[in-house]
Amino acid sequence: MKKLLGRTHDYLSLVRFSHTVFAMPFALAGYFIGATEPGYGFSLRTFLLVLACMVFARSAAMGFNRWADVRFDALNHRTAVREIPSGKISRRQALTFVIGSSLLFVIATAFLNRLTLILSPVALLVVLGYSYTKRFTPLCHLVLGLGLSLAPIGAYIAVTGTFAILPLIYSFIVLTWVSGFDIIYSLQDDQFDRETGLYSIPAVMSRRRALAVSIALHMLSVVMVVIAGFSGGAGWIYWTGAIIFVVMLFYQHLIVKPDDLSRVNMAFGTTNGIAGVIFGLAVVLDLLILKT
């Protein structure tokens, strides 16, 4: 039993399961936007399938990222302790895990609707393909953001089988938000990236300029949060959550400086995790309490 728990912990650590808080709240927002549309309603079956799709897709993406980057992770002192380079999980085991998670994701989409199933390979291409973008473009942060931004529109499609503007706006919020804080996170490896020929915005420009790009992306997030609120006819619960989200968004830029990266992990994980959960919860509660 102890060994089983240990292996489970290793795999949860491999995929950084705790980081699910970044995209899961927006997947739930997309689901409830669809469920509160006229002609639709809450379905426990669909809800659980959406959660399953989210977990399987993200597990596949993170597992593949660790599998693809093992050579670089082993060279980087900060990442050498990760599960594959440290030997806790072999590359073959990791790849098997990725294949299994990908298949389960596609199977789950098949139980939703035809459009979700048709788009599932596209989603996998984006979330898995991100792992190689750092080898040739500093825009890798935007590709990561794009992968997570599929959560709200994907959940909406899972419910309705159609596209709509409002969940796409939420997807753009996720795209700019995630891209912005990923730039902050990558500040830790700017020198390593230059030495190994990897690309990132901090690696191709100064830290100060990279942070300016991050701020610009987060300003776009704020604009889209406002647009989403007015487009969806949001009430006071939404706007309360939105204000907290925006405050947390810019708080991270106060605690991370070009010459002081001591609080990068706090900005990346804690601050953004709290921001995402509060905002996602506010969106859902606003829909359920004020719109139904």
Q: Comparing C-alpha atoms, which of 252, 191, 193 is closest to residue 217? A: 252
pLDDT at 21: 66
Q: Comparing C-alpha atoms, which of 198, 215, 221 is closest to residue 257? A: 215
Other C-beta atoms closer than 10 Å to the C-beta of 118 total 11
In the chain the domains, ranked by start, together with CATH numbers, are: 20-290 (1.10.357.140)
HSE-up of residue 283 (Cα within 13 Å, Cβ side): 32
- What is the mean pLDDT of the segment spanning 162-173? 96
Q: Which residues pair with 260 in a beta bridge?
A: 257
- Please report, for residues 93, 139, 193, the alpha-carbon distance to residue 90 in angstroms, rounded to integers and kept in the order given: 5, 30, 24
Query: 156 CB contacts (<8 Å, ≥6 apart)?
Result: 30, 31, 33, 34, 163, 164, 167
Residue 261 has phi, psi (to 5 degrees) of -105, 15
Residue 260 has phi, psi (to 5 degrees) of -145, 100
pLDDT tens figures, 235-283: 999 999 999 999 999 899 999 999 999 999 888 778 998 999 999 999 9
- What is the mean pLDDT of the segment spanning 198-215? 96
pLDDT tens figures, 18-28: 666 678 899 99
